[in-house]
Amino acid sequence: MEITEQQKRIIQVIDSESTSVFSISHRIHENPELGYQEKFASDLLCTTLEQHGFKVEREYVGIPTAFCARRGNGKGPRVAFLAEYDALPGLGHGCGHNIIASSALAAGIGLGAVVDELGGEVWVIGTPAEETDGAKVIMVQKGAFDQIDAALMIHPHPGYYYITESLALDAIEVEFFGKPSHAAAAPWEGVNALDAILTTFNSLNALRQQILPDARIHGIISNGGAAPNIIPDHTMGRFYLRAKQRAYLNELNQKFLACVQGAAIATGTRFETRMYENPFDDMLNNLVLAERMRDYLTEIIGVQKVERAPEHFGSIDMGNVSHVVPAVHVLVDVTEGKSLSLHTPDFQTAAATPYADATILRAGKALALTGYDVLVNAAFREAAWREFKQEMGS
């Protein structure tokens, strides 16, 4: 695999900015902010991008800590690198989003250094609150990605993988309403809302035998009543429903609702349901883009092993982006091959090591080199869109 002189310059620029990029990663890591509160991280990234010739739109599509930084002539193809920078409650950057942000920054700076010679534009889009509400879902709905030709991002992980098989997710809250009474003196006068939520769980446990292996249903009772001597008149449960494909998750939703309705009929209660978080779609990995990025990692950047996909992964709002534009969500190693779980103190520590810093450069270069091909290679770009349309059609 050969690269052009412009791509060599991209690599040189990223290497020359390594000290600054590492500093930004560590500063974000040391100042963890929860979703929609990431003012420090957002301002730091925006200011840095402005210093490198990007025109930055803060509060992008009306979200206070989102941004869109653009560099180029405003005509021709556009490629976007997506940055996440929110942290976890109590765990700080236990998912390593400082790595995602700094890798997108490095890619933007690198490709931005040559974009004026290429035509088209390079974008860096700041996407808040992935861990909580999934701001990308709102951004998709507001058309934030409608004008780009490819959306590229990485995520830290134990090991390198060019495919992320995430699960579509719906977050559903259920409330049951009954009638209170004295639980000992006159229980027959009450309508037990706790029985309704327990019957729902029992029905769901039976349903699990009949659903596809890649589907998941898990939940909690968030309100089970006031006191043991009062028949509960109000209970509440929160559930996550997941499936490998959005179409099957929609079917699973109907089965879930039937369990809730059956529990309400059996107990004489009334129920209400609502989505309490944004729904996530499954990730449509664009193989044209993902395999090119894999090849750059192994043949140019020197990563020894990039596997296809890990055995297990959760749900990501990048899935929603992948349903409107060709996209990748490549996993990059920050644990030196150690089997560390995300969302743990150990992973939080791993996200700010010299090894993780080196991974930022590798990831930033792979993103930028792939983005370069999106801008200059019409056949490559069209192949990515062709695959996207086929996937959406199927």
State the alpha helices, DSSP H only, in the chain: 5-16, 18-30, 39-51, 97-112, 115-118, 135-141, 193-207, 246-267, 287-295, 318-321, 345-350, 354-376, 378-393
User: Would the pTM of this model clear 0.85, i.e. be above it?
Assistant: yes
Task: Output the average pLDDT for the chain.
Answer: 96
Percent of the chain's residues with pLDDT above 90: 95
Place 10 in a pLDDT band, splitting at 50, 70 and 90: very high
- Residue spans in the chain of domains classed CATH 3.30.70.360: 168-275
Question: Looking at residue 62, what is its pLDDT?
Answer: 97
5-166+282-393 has which fold?
Answer: Aminopeptidase (3.40.630)
| DSSP-H helix ranges across 211-339 | 246-267, 287-295, 318-321
pLDDT at 155: 98
CATH 3.40.630.10 maps onto the chain at 5-166+282-393
Name the residue among 17, 41, 196 with its Cα closest to residue 111: 17
pLDDT at 74: 81
- pLDDT grade for 89, boundaries at 50, 70 and 90: very high
**Model confidence pLDDT, tens digit, residues 30-66:** 999 999 999 999 999 999 999 999 999 999 999 999 9
What pLDDT score was predicted for residue 314? 85
151 residue type, one letter? A
Tokens 């861990």, residue?
Answer: 131
Label residue 313 by pLDDT band (50, 70, 90): confident
pLDDT given at position 36: 97
Mean pLDDT value of segment 357-378 = 98
pLDDT at 366: 98
Q: Could you tell me which CATH number the domain at 168-275 has?
A: 3.30.70.360
pLDDT at site 312:
78
DSSP notation for 109-136: HHHHTTHHHH-SEEEEEE---TTTT-HH
Q: What is the CA radius of gyration of the chain?
A: 23
